[in-house]
Amino acid sequence: MRMPMFTWATFVTSALILFAFPPLTVGLFLLIFDRMFGSNFFDVADGGNTIIWEHLFWIFGHPEVYILILPAFGIFSEIFAIFSRKRLFGYSSMVFATVLIGFLGFMVWAHHMFTTGLGPIANAIFAVATMAIAVPTGIKIFNWMFTMWGGSIKFTTPMLWAVASFHHSLPVV
């Protein structure tokens, strides 16, 4: 529990990559077989199911969002601490939030598929998971604010970039 936050973010991102890319690879292979060899995995006219493609794509596609943002979150954590001249507030909760974002990133893929007829129970489960992912993100945002609170902030280019990016994301949360 003494690694830099960027290291934790990179570690969780690596795990996301490890588990998110195989479903996309499988989906692409099935699609290639449909296009080149006449199989019918996704061709509805011949008994296939297009929803399977959507699931395989989004099982990759949604964690991919966190593959892109978690390293930036790790960088933000380092920048806020260094240029506020304070230790990162709530380090343990930040590590927990990073891991939880990575885990929940796999639980929300079907929120892109609410109109495909998954049913009310599945829609409710994925809606709750989608809302739940805001909690660890909020933990990060508040810890960044508390890191800066009372610090001796130096507005260098990295700090201006991080604060601007952080400020831009506030209305989303």
Query: What distance in Å separates the CA atoms of residue 118 and residue 67, rounded to the nearest whole number?
Result: 26
Those residues whose C-beta lies under 8 Å from the C-beta of residue 92, and which sit 6 or more positions away, are 1
Exposed, middle or buried by CB within 10 Å (0-12, 13-18, 19+), for 43?
middle
Which residue range(s) make up the domain with 73? 5-169
Write the pLDDT tens digit of every residue in 14-39.
999 999 999 999 999 999 999 999 99
Query: What distance in Å separates the CA atoms of residue 46 and residue 80, rounded to the nearest whole number?
Result: 56
* Structural domain count of the chain: 1
Write the pLDDT tens digit of every residue in 77-124.
999 999 999 999 999 999 999 999 999 998 888 888 888 888 899 889
Write down the pTM of the prediction: 0.88
